[in-house]
Amino acid sequence: MTAFIGEIVGTAILIILGDGVVANVLLNKTNGFNSGWIVITTGWAMAVFTGVFISAPSSGAHLNPAVTIALAIAGKFSWSLVPEYILGQMLGAMIGAFIVWIAYKQHFDATENAANKLAVFCTGPAIRNPFYNLITEIVGTLVFAIAVLHIVSHTDSLGSISALPVAFVVFGVGLSLGGPTGYAINPARDLGPRLMHAILPIKGKGTSDWQHSWIPVIGPIIGGVIAALFFK
């Protein structure tokens, strides 16, 4: 149960800070309104750093089904624990998204743009093309997962000391590969909050864009699998 709770808490922190920075940039009347992509990518990097640092001692800080699956394929994690970890990640992501909504409730109400409200919770394509959008998510996660596998090459999981290099990798992926799709590179990070967007009574929220939702789930998993096979 310690590892399970660690994944819930770590992923919740990841989403609170990650979705939180998007809310700060995109929602009306915040102090960070319209501050741009550099703020978002920096905030997400710090979100990963904090989530990994906090949860590493208890769970190894996967916080991402693509990472969990990649580690299992690479022989660094037991397949029997994969469902437990993914469930913890999904629950944590949903809890984190709920907390962001509460924290920014007044700003959600003050924002008319439904697309910006959705973007707080999940990713979306800048140019909608399922094939190329999928390729982008595969490539982004491939780079991320290869880096993570090398960081943990002498251990079976991430430790607290790994938090900073992993954060730098996420920062780099966001800056270099985040433009086309918003760099989900994490199925739980996208699907959990998207579910909360669909469930929560958000004023004028519009659609949850389920048409695109499979791409930030399948793409990162494929990228993680390729990275693990390449690593082996």
| CA distances for 167 relative to 33, 38, 46, 144, 173, angstroms | 24, 14, 6, 10, 10
Give the predicted TM-score (pTM) of the model.
0.96
Q: Which residue's entry shows tokens 């949860």?
A: 55
Q: What is the pLDDT of residues 140-173, one digit of tens each?
A: 999 999 999 999 887 767 778 889 999 999 999 9
Please give the pLDDT value at position 105: 98
The mean per-residue pLDDT over the stretch 34-58 comes to 97
182-218: burial string, b at 16+ Cβ within 10 Å, e else:
bbbbbbbbbbbbbbbbbebebeebeebbeebbebbbe
Please report the domains of the chain, with CATH numbers, ordered by start residue: 2-231 (1.20.1080.10)
Please give the pLDDT value at position 39: 98
Q: Which residue's entry shows tokens 């909360």?
A: 196
Token output for 177: 């590969």
Q: How far apart are CA 44 and CA 17, in angstroms?
A: 7
User: Over 90: is that where the pLDDT of 41 sits?
Assistant: yes
**Three-state SS at 216:** helix
Q: What is the pLDDT of residues 111-140, one digit of tens each?
A: 999 999 999 999 999 999 999 999 999 999
pLDDT band at 224 (very low <50, low <70, confident <90, very high): very high
Please give the pLDDT value at position 6: 97
Q: What is the pLDDT of residues 64-107, one digit of tens each?
A: 999 999 999 999 999 999 999 999 999 999 999 999 999 999 99
The mean per-residue pLDDT over the stretch 198-217 comes to 97
Q: How far apart are CA 36 and CA 54, in angstroms?
A: 27
Residue type, 142: L
Q: How far apart are CA 61 and CA 11, in angstroms?
A: 8
List CB contacts of 129: < 8 A, sequence separation 6 or more: none
pLDDT band at 1 (very low <50, low <70, confident <90, very high): low
**Three-state SS at 126:** coil
Angle between helices 163-177 and 37-59 (to 10 degrees): 150
